[in-house]
C-alpha cells in the first residue's frame, strides 16, 4: 500500500512465520501462522491512533506490558474498555513508574484497571498488548513503541499490529502471565 497524503504509512501484508506447531511453541520458539500485519513508524505515522482503535474494538480482554506509559489517549482507551466490561490488566516497569512524573499508571489504577509492577528485571522492557486472545479477531500489538507522547511525536519507533494470529496471541499472553506471576499489585 502506498503512503497516504498525510504521511501515514499503513503497510498490510500477509506474514508466514515458519517453524513448529503451536503446541511446541517455547518462549524463544517460532510458530507457523498466516496473519495480517499493520506497521507504523514514528514520528510520522499515527501509531497511537492505531492502538486506540484496536482497544476500542476489544470485547473480552486486554493484557498490557508497558515500559514507559504517558500517552493519555491510550490510557483513556484502556479505561473506556474497562468501563465496557473488558477485562483490562496492565504490567508496568516498576522503576519507570516511579521515575516518570507524568506516568498514567496511577490513573489506570484509580479507574479500576488492575496494575502490576514488574521489578524482577533490570528493565521490564516489553511493549506489548494482547487483545481478545483466542478469538479470530484477536490482536497482538508490539514493537519498540513505548506508550508515550515522545514515542508518537519525537522518537524513531516502530509498531506492529498482528491480526488473526491465535498462536502468536497465545504466546504473547503466556509471556504476560509469566511476568504477572512475579509482578506486584
Phi, psi of 70 (to 5 degrees): -130, -5
Q: State the pLDDT confidence band at 27, using cuts at 50, 70 and 90.
A: low
pTM of the model: 0.83
How remote is the C-alpha of 142 from its chain's centroid?
Answer: 5
Instruction: Transcribe 28-58 into DSSP letters.
Output: T----EEEEEEEEEETTS-HHHHHHHHHHT-
Instruction: With both helix axes pointing from N to C terminus, report the angle between 47-56 and 72-83 in degrees, rounded to the nearest 10.
Output: 0
pLDDT at residue 28, as a whole number:
61
pLDDT above 70 as % of the chain:
84
Instruction: Give the residue carrying C-alpha cell 507524568.
Output: 102
What are 140-180's pLDDT values in tens digits? 999 999 999 999 999 999 999 999 988 999 999 999 999 89
**92-116, pLDDT tens digit by residue?**
988 878 888 999 999 999 999 999 9
What number is the average pLDDT over the span 132-139?
A: 88
pLDDT by residue (tens digit) across 36-84? 999 999 999 999 999 999 999 999 999 999 989 999 999 999 999 999 9
Amino acid at each position: 500500500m502506498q503512503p497516504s497524503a498525510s504521511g501515514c504509512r499503513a503497510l498490510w501484508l500477509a506474514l508466514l512465520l515458519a517453524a513448529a506447531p503451536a503446541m511446541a511453541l517455547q518462549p524463544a520458539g517460532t510458530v507457523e501462522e498466516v496473519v495480517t500485519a499493520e506497521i507504523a513508524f514514528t514520528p510520522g505515522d499515527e501509531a497511537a491512533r492505531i492502538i486506540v482503535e484496536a482497544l476500542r474494538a476489544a470485547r473480552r480482554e486486554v493484557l498490557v506490558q508497558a515500559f514507559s506509559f504517558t500517552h493519555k489517549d491510550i490510557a483513556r482507551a484502556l479505561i473506556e474498555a474497562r468501563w465496557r466490561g473488558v477485562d483490562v490488566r496492565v504490567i508496568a516497569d516498576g522503576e519507570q513508574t516511579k521515575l516518570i512524573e507524568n506516568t498514567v499508571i496511577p490513573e489506570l489504577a484509580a479507574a479500576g484497571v488492575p496494575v502490576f509492577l514488574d521489578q524482577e528485571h533490570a528493565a521490564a522492557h516489553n511493549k506489548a498488548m494482547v487483545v481478545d486472545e483466542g478469538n479470530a479477531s484477536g490482536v497482538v500489538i508490539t514493537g519498540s513503541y513505548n506508550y508515550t507522547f515522545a514515542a508518537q511525536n519525537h522518537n524513531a519507533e516502530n509498531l506492529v499490529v498482528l491480526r488473526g494470529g491465535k498462536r502468536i496471541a497465545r504466546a504473547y499472553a503466556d509471556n504476560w502471565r509469566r511476568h504477572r506471576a512475579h509482578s506486584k499489585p
